[in-house]
Amino acid sequence: MAPEDWLSNLAQRHRLSPTQRHIVQRMLGMFPGVAFLSTVEIAERTGVSQPTVTRLATALGFAGFAEFRAALREVVLAGIPGQRAPQPGPHNGLAAIDQERANLNSLRRVVTGDAMAEAVRLLAAPAPLGVIGLRASAALAGYFGYFAKRLLPSVTVCTDAGTAADTVLQLHQQGAVTLMVFAMPRYPAATVTTLRLAHRLGLRPVVVTDSALAPFAAQAAALLVAPAGTGLLFDSHASAVLLSTTLLDAVAATDPERTQLRLEAHEALIDTWVHPG
114-156 residue pLDDT tens = 999 999 999 999 999 999 999 999 999 999 999 999 999 999 9
Query: Helices marked H in the chain — which ranges?
Result: 3-12, 18-28, 39-46, 50-59, 65-78, 90-111, 114-123, 138-151, 164-173, 189-201, 238-254, 256-267
Contact 246, 28 (CB under 8 A): no
> What pLDDT digit, counting tens, does each position of 261-272 carry?
999 998 888 878
Which residues, 6 or more positions from 216, have their beta carbon under 8 angstroms from its beta carbon?
183, 187, 191, 192, 195, 196, 207, 209
Band (pLDDT 50/70/90 cuts) for residue 166 is very high
Rama region for 104: left / alpha / beta (φ>0; ψ in -120 to 50; rest): alpha
Which residue ranges make up each domain of the chain?
A: 3-88, 99-272
The residue ranking higher by pLDDT, 206 or 95, is 206
pTM: 0.76
pLDDT for residue 87? 47
Q: Across the chain, what does the average pLDDT equal?
A: 90
CATH number belonging to domain 99-272: 3.40.50.10490
SS (H, E, C) 218-247: HHCCEEEECCCECCCCCCECHHHHHHHHHH
Residue 70 has φ and ψ, to the nearest 5°, of -65, -40
Q: Is the pLDDT of residue 85 over 70?
A: no
Q: Is the pLDDT of residue 223 over 50?
A: yes
Secondary-structure class of domain 3-88 per CATH: mainly alpha
Band (pLDDT 50/70/90 cuts) for residue 90 is low
pLDDT for residue 91? 61
**Total residue count of the chain as it appears in this document:** 277
pLDDT for residue 117? 98
